[in-house]
Amino acid sequence: MSKNPLFATRASRMKASEIRELLKLLDQPGIISFAGGIPDPALFPADAFSQAFQAALGPQTQAQALQYSVSEGYVPLREWLVQHMREIGVTCDIDNILITSGSQQALDYLGKLFLSPGDTALVGWPTYLGALAAFNAYEPQFDRLNGNSGAAEYKAAAGDGAVKFAYLSADFANPTGETLDRQGREALLDLAEELDCAIIEDGAYQALRYDGDPIPPILSLELARKGSIENCRTIYCGSFSKTLSPGLRMGWVVAPKPTISQLVLLKQAADLHSATINQMAVHDVAQACFDSHIPQVRAVYQNRRDVMLDALEQHMPDGVEWTRPEGGMFIWVTLPAGVSGSELLARALDTVKVAFVPGQAFFPDGSGANTIRLSFSNSDEAAIREGIRRLGEVLRA
């Protein structure tokens, strides 16, 4: 696509997301899709939301619900989040929290706040495609977080720019499903100290653990070292998308107050505030049923993960390997060397109507051609068994 010469240089770095383009094709009948990492709509607490929106539009609160509001976010929702963060090991107060329009917006703002052109962002190899897209607009270079480099090597590779942050999902990452163990989290904190850089901890899937013991968030481990969130370099991004509803676009950032103040300025310039009525409804629903709803969501996804793992065991030919995630929505499959995920997708769509995401898109350098991401969250048991059976058939062929 030729770009308008009037566009800024950063526009040339922006590419259409392979996932979004693909999702457009998936409306065809008969497709079994393991592509989008999206929640099952049957699990949305729709009745609770219906009541919450009606209540917000009632005579007492309609003026507030439909009015402009403060950029930091709806106070009762931020108060609920203070409590929620405490439950996962993070002590903070309401002034450490900014409500964002999805955690995706938080990633964009953090890219804008930290990255000058040429600065380095350390990311997983592979990592969440949406984070790469958000950061990429600010013209950084990416370096590999899960390589074996130490601080000196990272600094040397950064050249004239600085290493500004390390970005990761410590729990059930998108796309690999993998979790960073406690030792790895502590080591990352040590590395960030040496590099004097921030850590952006993406907790999008944090609540979706199916087995194994919870590991404290990186921010919680840093708090144990430093006593107060004001001394921490870790910035935590949370989301209601995977637990309650992605359509309402509700996320949050937890950070030291000076960082929140800067983010508030960015939010004022970008969209003033997140939708008032959505914040009120999410608060209402979170307060009424978050704790009872999450176990139901976990039970459904846990079963789907187990079914997919079982089907992979049964149908994948020799030489194919995959992760065994303790939570989240994804299984990451490594095909034998030389087998291309993109070609497999083209063939699978064409011959057996199965969709997934080729892994290459998740690597900043376009490597990983022989990987694919499978999502188990939005297919029922029968579809998972049948889809993986068909995929095994195509791979054998």
Ligand X SMILES: Cc1ncc(COP(=O)(O)O)c(C=O)c1O
Q: Which residues of the chain form contacts with ligand X (CB under 6 A)?
A: 37, 102-104, 128, 130, 169, 174, 202, 204, 239, 241, 246, 251
Q: Min. distance of Cβ 133 from ligand X in angstroms?
A: 11
Query: Is 386:30 a contact under the CB 8 Å cutoff?
Result: no
How many CA atoms does the CB half-sphere of 310 hold within 13 Å? 11
Query: Is 244:40 a contact under the CB 8 Å cutoff?
Result: no
Q: Min. distance of Cβ 175 from ligand X in angstroms?
A: 8
Q: Measured from the CB atom, is 158 or 260 closer to ligand X?
A: 260
Q: Measured from the CB atom, is 251 or 392 closer to ligand X?
A: 251
Closest CA relative to residue 219, chosen from 269, 373, 206: 206
Cα separations in angstroms, 54 against 4, 276, 281:
45, 14, 9
Q: Which two tokens stand for residue 36?
A: 């989008």
Q: Measured from the CB atom, is 175 or 392 closer to ligand X?
A: 175
Q: Measured from the CB atom, is 129 or 229 closer to ligand X?
A: 129
Q: Which two tokens stand for residue 39?
A: 């929640």
Q: Which two tokens stand for residue 397?
A: 């062929």
Gyration radius from the chain CA atoms: 21
Q: Measured from the CB atom, is 190 or 271 closer to ligand X?
A: 271
Q: Min. distance of Cβ 178 from ligand X in angstroms?
A: 12
Residue by residue, DSSP assigns 357-381 as EEGGGGSTTS--TTEEEEE-TTS-H
Q: Min. distance of Cβ 242 from ligand X in angstroms?
A: 7
Q: Min. distance of Cβ 275 from ligand X in angstroms?
A: 14
- Find the residue with minimal CB distance to ligand X: 102
Q: Min. distance of Cβ 169 from ligand X in angstroms?
A: 5
Q: Measured from the CB atom, is 169 or 220 closer to ligand X?
A: 169
Q: Which two tokens stand for residue 221?
A: 């481990």
